[in-house]
Amino acid sequence: MSGLSREVLKWLQSLDLTWQIKTPKWDLTNGYLIAEIFSWYFPQDIQMHSYNNGTSLDSKLRNWSLLKNFIKRHSLELPEDLVEGTIHCKEGAGALLVEQMYEILTNRQLKKVPKEYEVDFTDKAYQSKLPLHARSTATQSVKNNLKITEVMADESLILNAQKAQKIINDHIDQRKQQRQMNPERFNSKPTLGEKCLRRPPQQQPSAPPAEEHDQEETTGPQDQPGADVWLFISTVHKHTNIINKRIETSILLNPEFYLQSVLSSYPCVQL
């Protein structure tokens, strides 16, 4: 009965089940004891003669089909991944399912100790405790974490291939972590990119304040190259405007004099 807390053990013993739950991973897989636990709280909805205490996959699927309908009808918050993990004998799924049922049926909260590893229904926690030379290969990892009952229950080739590929990807990530933590064992050397000296990126100059920008617009680019040429052009332009204004003023004041000067310059023109 490893993996179950003291409160859950006392609760299970008080139910007077057909047999004791010694290993939740194997004892709860066919759903017969799960139905017997629910029958103590819902005697009108659970009839034990409808459930088969067998070990074949057909017996499991038939029992759990009835249990899933019962769970859905009563809106019990039992996660689907816990149910599927219990059917296919996943690591830790059966114990978590019993604890969840205890909290729902007794309306009590368990005092859970934080676990060292995250429960993901794989043998990752077990593999991490083994020495490096005794850990599973990629093929053995697929065999341990992808049960034959999963393949038989759902014959979709695409879905099964995705499950196997996910297990292989996780195995590759674990191998990379092992190489980083034990570089001497794997004789791993740093790559050329890791040997390169990494420098922080240079900071770009910030934009000048608004006051300085306005001042530059009024005074002109005196600090930039070619400032003398710019000053010369602006001065010539200013004087040209002044001369043009004076000529226009003189024409308006004495148009006859301007007309005579034009006629004297072009004698061929006759009025």
Cβ atoms of residues 51 and 70 within 8 Å: no
Average pLDDT (13-36) is 91
pLDDT at 27: 92
Kindly tell me if the per-residue pLDDT of 266 is higher than 90. Answer: no
Kindly tell me if the per-residue pLDDT of 269 is higher than 50. Answer: no
| From 21-30, 172-181, 208-217, the region with the lowest mean pLDDT | 208-217
Express each pLDDT in 134-164 by its tens digit.
999 999 999 999 988 888 888 888 999 999 9
Kindly tell me if the per-residue pLDDT of 166 is higher than 60. Answer: yes
Express each pLDDT in 53-109 by its tens digit.
988 989 999 999 999 999 999 999 899 999 999 999 888 889 999 999 999 999 998
Structure pTM?
A: 0.63
pLDDT at 112: 75
Domains of the chain, residue spans: 1-121, 129-189, 226-271
Closest CA to 171 of 127, 202, 133: 127
Express each pLDDT in 184-194 by its tens digit.
888 878 777 77
Return d(Cα 72, Cα 4) in angstroms, integer. Answer: 26
Express each pLDDT in 208-265 by its tens digit.
555 544 444 444 444 444 556 556 566 656 666 676 666 666 666 666 665 566 556 5
Size of the chain, expressed as the number of residues it contains: 271
pLDDT at 209: 55
pLDDT at 217: 47
Instruction: Find all residues with CB under 8 Å of 41, minimum gap 6, and list them.
Output: 105
pLDDT at 140: 92
User: Identity (one letter) of the amino acid at 53?
Assistant: N
Cβ atoms of residues 169 and 141 within 8 Å: no
pLDDT at 221: 46
Per CATH, the number for 1-121 is: 1.10.418.10
Average pLDDT (22-42) is 92
Return d(Cα 28, Cα 142) in angstroms, integer. Answer: 23
pLDDT at 225: 47
What DSSP letter does each residue of 29-95 carry, written as one string? TTSHHHHHHHHHH-TTT--GGGS----SHHHHHHHHHHHHHHHHHTT----HHHHHHHHTT-TTHHH
pLDDT at 229: 53
Confidence at 120, pLDDT banded by 50, 70, 90? confident
Kindly tell me if the per-residue pLDDT of 179 is higher than 60. Answer: yes
pLDDT at 66: 94
pLDDT at 71: 93
pLDDT at 67: 94
